[in-house]
Structure 1
Amino acid sequence: MTNALLRVKGLQLSYGGINAVKGIDLQVNHGELVALIGANGAGKSSTLKAIAGLLNPSAGDIHFANRETKKLPAYELVQLGLGMVPEGRGVFKRMTILENLQMGAYLKTDAKEIERKLEEVYSYFPRLKERLSQLAGTLSGGEQQMVAMGRAMMAQPKLLLLDEPSMGLSPIMVETIFDVVRSLSSSGMTILLVEQNARLALQMANRAYVMESGLITLSGSGEELLEDSRVRTAYLGE
């Protein structure tokens, strides 16, 4: 258990009289890419929001970076090294691309370090460098996803939470975004990925969990779940 960066135990979430998450356990170890897949409404995004401090669990424990974090506000989790690319991207639409990226580094004080991180983001997303002064609200969905990912990368998170990064994107843009996710994972970044494109997620993941109606019903390596007949029938359209 010592290699765990994130441990979730018995997590329950309720709102509006609905039990969205019904007591789940999951773990993400240092350097892993872990996928959480499942149908719409399974509780995946709610789980991520609880980990990120955006929803209050009704029961259970969350440990991140050797701290009990269930009661910590989101901004303290950012200071501990938690980064999130939210569903729907959440870019600052009236700010430029550059300003959005700089917002990701608001805890950083070393100007040279910020400049180095910006160059790193540009190496992943050259298109952003070409349009730094463009307002984020005028970008396509795929370009906004690049900005949201770049902004999260600027904070150098220990754990990056990705909530439905491919949602609403063209196939070619999905490929671009997932190439970056693959590269980040290869470079050693720890990632927890919630994704409806189960095949893509499982092909990349070291390990994965399947969530149905607020419960985790299956877990295993990405390869094992790709071969599992239940997963193939329910999520891979076979």
Structure 2
Amino acid sequence: MSILKIENLNVNYGGIQAVSDLNLHIEQGELVTLIGANGAGKTTTLRTITGLVKPKSGTLLYQDQDIRKTEVHNFVRQGLVMVPEGRGIFPKLTVLENLEMGAYYRHDHAAIKDEIDHVMQLFPRLKERATQLAGTLSGGEQQMVAMGRAMLSKPKLLLLDEPSMGLAPIIVQQIFDIIQTIHSQGVTILLVEQNAKLALQISDRGYVMESGKVTMADKADVLLNDPRILSAYLGG
């Protein structure tokens, strides 16, 4: 079953057509990556899925429901959760308070406490810094906060926008290990990522975007070995 289905999506953004006739689907339980150069339309696609940008035309189905007119604040309640590019944490709240914000609409307090404990196990650094202001953390730690906060929202579909951006290589590997762990717990993931090699290595399938259009779509291992992908994105 497709948890997300996009058909013939067109989006104008900043006076230009940022996305053209986009077709994309994600099956329940998949980890799918969307790769492409800067300006290809990847972030605009995520922002359109979550209602932050309104499409010009096309179909957007989440769990078989048309979500084009869904109010932005209702997406999290429906399990559609995004970790934005740049993390979007609350810098003047503590690590713990940031995590609690992920569960702001929930009332199952015992379960929330258990899930915060689980996130702290996934990210031991956050447990050490639970009372520290999130704005004083390193970039990698802030990314962990953003991903942990998203987990408290109980996502059915998690959208990750450039989670490795600006991070040291050793931290990037940690973040990707966590993405795999989250996926192994049954969360469907759409990953937008410039590190094409790492993204494809952990994904089931991939899409390649160029100038607002999907130009290639296949199983991740096929894309990893495609000469065009090797040349354009993997330094081959």
| Band of TM-score, shorter chain | over 0.9
For the aligned residues, what is the CA RMSD?
0.7
Q: Which amino acid is 2:145 matched to?
A: V
Q: Which amino acid is 1:113 matched to?
A: A
Aligned partners of 2:39 and 2:100: how far apart in 1?
33
Number of aligned pairs?
236
User: Residue by residue, what CA displacement relative to the aligned partner does 1:94-141 show, whole Å, maximum 9, x if unpaired?
Assistant: 111011000000121011010011011011101101111110111111
Q: Which amino acid is 2:67 matched to?
A: T
2:115 aligned partner: 117
Which one of 142, 145, 154 corresponds to residue 143 of structure 2?
Answer: 145
2:74 aligned partner: 76
Q: TM-score, normalised by structure 1?
A: 0.98
Aligned partners of 1:229 and 1:106: how far apart in 2?
46
Aligned partners of 1:16 and 1:41: how far apart in 2?
12
How far residue 66 of structure 1 moved from its aligned partner, in angstroms, is 2.0
SS in 1 for 2:75: helix
SS in 2 for 1:93: coil
Q: Which amino acid is 1:126 matched to?
A: P
How far residue 56 of structure 1 moved from its aligned partner, in angstroms, is 0.5
Aligned partners of 1:232 and 1:19: how far apart in 2?
28
Equivalent residues in 2 for 1:212-223, closer than 5 Å: 212-223=210-221
How far residue 28 of structure 1 moved from its aligned partner, in angstroms, is 0.6
2:203 aligned partner: 205
Which one of 11, 14, 17 corresponds to residue 16 of structure 1?
Answer: 14
1:195 aligned partner: 193
2:173 aligned partner: 175
Q: Which amino acid is 1:61 matched to?
A: T
1:237 aligned partner: 235
SS in 2 for 1:161: strand
2:158 aligned partner: 160
Aligned partners of 1:229 and 1:73: how far apart in 2?
42
Aligned partners of 1:26 and 1:123: how far apart in 2?
34
Aligned partners of 2:177 and 2:108: how far apart in 1?
29
How far residue 157 of structure 1 moved from its aligned partner, in angstroms, is 0.5
Which one of 43, 46, 49 corresponds to residue 48 of structure 1?
Answer: 46
Aligned partners of 1:226 and 1:103: how far apart in 2?
37
How far residue 51 of structure 1 moved from its aligned partner, in angstroms, is 0.5
Percent identical: 55
2:105 aligned partner: 107
Q: Which amino acid is 1:5 matched to?
A: I
Aligned partners of 1:16 and 1:49: how far apart in 2?
13
Given that residues 101 and 151 in structure 1 are in contact (C-alpha distance below 8 angstroms), is that contact kept between their aligned partners in structure 2? yes
How far residue 12 of structure 1 moved from its aligned partner, in angstroms, is 0.9
Runs of 4 or more, structure 1, over 3 Å off, are: none
In the alignment, structure 2 segments of 5+ residues that lack a partner are none
